[in-house]
């Protein structure tokens, strides 16, 4: 958890730094635009309204910088405290700014055994062992053996089926005792022991269900974020092209400066949205690793394919 928190702080810092870069570039662009508009005004080619609008948008961009700088300082302090350093000392950046730009691909065929590493499942399993010594054998052979990911690293049909409310695992977690985790024969005269076993079994089943649900949620969110990013890349490219056209038509007196301002705002919006979705994509990668109880080894997925 602490590692995940540190990574998310790094990602947030990098995201804010990228926002500051966009802000600096916007200020430079707005300042150049103001110079152009003032020059056209002196030559009688535009009105004072265009000058006021260009000055206003420059001031607006400049006013956003202090808030971003403060947010960056707060995140750096939080990271320094997490690392046990004095808050005034900025934590050293061990990677360049592009290091966290995109997460690695999630391979297809991730085995469900990865989830069994989670501390909450290990704790629930230990309680189950204490309730019934024989459950260790039953659980080892009955833990859901499925592939978590399909093509492109998205959630597999097997994972979706496992989390269907009609599945046996869901039934056990809801309190049903027609279990896929069968401990074998239980002595009828040991009602207290049987009750403890059934309680431990229900807790274990709920824990497993929650773990698989968190993995599926992270994978579904990842799919949506990838789709959003692809659309935003196109949106950004179109925004840049539109701004170029707006500048060209304004310089030839074919449109007013408001058209240029709108195009500039759209370009900035596209850049900021792209930063946001890429941060979410990276944060989602961290959430997926946490849900799995850690990362994964590609050799593990390759070995699973060989077995299949």
Residue 285 structure tokens: 């990668």
- Per-residue pLDDT band for 188 (boundaries 50, 70, 90) equals very low
CA distance 83 to 56: 42
Cβ–Cβ under 8 Å, residues 225 and 284: yes
pLDDT at 86: 64
Q: Measured between alpha carbons, how far is residue 48 from residues 29, 30, 36, 53 in Å?
A: 20, 16, 13, 9
Q: What tens digit of pLDDT does each residue of 85-123 get? A: 765 655 555 555 555 567 778 888 888 888 888 889 888
pLDDT at 200: 82
- Residue 224 predicted with pLDDT over 60: yes
**HSE-CB of 288 using CA atoms within 13 angstroms:** 27
- Residue 25 predicted with pLDDT over 90: yes
Give domain limits for the chain: 1-101, 107-308
pLDDT at 93: 56
Mean pLDDT of 242-258: 91
- Residue 254 predicted with pLDDT over 70: yes
Distant-in-sequence contacts of 178-184, Cβ < 8 A, 24+ apart: 179/205, 180/142, 180/144, 181/135, 181/138, 181/139, 181/142, 181/205, 182/138, 182/142, 183/132, 183/134, 183/135, 183/138, 184/134, 184/138
Q: What tens digit of pLDDT does each residue of 130-149 get? A: 776 544 444 444 567 778 77
Fold category of 107-308 in CATH = Outer membrane efflux proteins (OEP) (1.20.1600)
pLDDT at 174: 53
Cβ–Cβ under 8 Å, residues 243 and 263: yes
- Per-residue pLDDT band for 196 (boundaries 50, 70, 90) equals confident
CA distance 255 to 246: 8
Mean pLDDT of 72-91: 78
**Comparing C-alpha atoms, which of 104, 125, 121 is closest to residue 112?**
121
Mean pLDDT of 57-80: 93
**HSE-CB of 75 using CA atoms within 13 angstroms:** 19
CA distance 230 to 24: 25
Cβ–Cβ under 8 Å, residues 268 and 22: yes
Q: Which has the higher per-residue pLDDT, 132 or 177?
A: 132
CA distance 93 to 96: 7
CA distance 258 to 50: 8
Contacts of 160 (CB under 8 A, 6+ apart): 216
Q: Which has the higher per-residue pLDDT, 87 or 63?
A: 63
Residue 220 structure tokens: 């579904």
């Amino acid at each position: 958890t602490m590692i995940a928190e540190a990574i998310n702080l790094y990602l947030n810092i990098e995201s804010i730094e990228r926002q500051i870069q966009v802000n600096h570039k916007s200020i430079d662009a707005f300042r150049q635009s103001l110079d152009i508009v003032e020059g056209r005004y002196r030559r009688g080619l535009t009105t004072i309204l265009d000058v006021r609008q260009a000055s206003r948008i420059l001031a607006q961009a400049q006013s956003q910088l202090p808030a971003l700088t403060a947010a960056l300082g707060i995140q750096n302090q939080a990271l320094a405290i997490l690392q046990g350093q004095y808050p005034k000392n900025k934590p050293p950046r061990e990677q360049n700014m592009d290091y966290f730009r995109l997460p690695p691909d999630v391979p297809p065929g991730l085995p469900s055994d990865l989830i069994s590493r989670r501390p909450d499942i290990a704790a629930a399993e230990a309680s189950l062992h204490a309730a019934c010594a024989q459950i260790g054998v039953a659980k080892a052979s009955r833990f859901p053996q499925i592939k978590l990911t399909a093509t492109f690293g998205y959630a597999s049909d097997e994972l979706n089926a496992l989390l269907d409310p009609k599945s046996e695992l869901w039934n056990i977690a809801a309190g049903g005792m027609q279990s896929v985790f069968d401990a074998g024969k239980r002595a009828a005269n040991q009602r207290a022991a049987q009750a403890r076993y059934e309680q431990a079994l229900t807790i274990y089943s709920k824990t497993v269900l929650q773990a698989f649900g968190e993995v599926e949620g992270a994978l579904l969110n990842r799919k949506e974020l990838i789709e959003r990013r692809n659309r935003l890349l196109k949106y950004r490219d179109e925004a840049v092209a539109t701004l170029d056209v707006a500048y060209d038509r304004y310089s030839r007196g074919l449109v007013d400066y408001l058209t240029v301002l709108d195009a500039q705002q759209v370009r900035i919006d596209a850049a900021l949205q792209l930063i946001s979705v890429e941060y979410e994509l990276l944060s989602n990668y961290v959430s997926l690793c946490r849900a799995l109880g850690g990362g994964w080894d590609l050799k593990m997925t390759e070995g699973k394919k060989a077995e299949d």
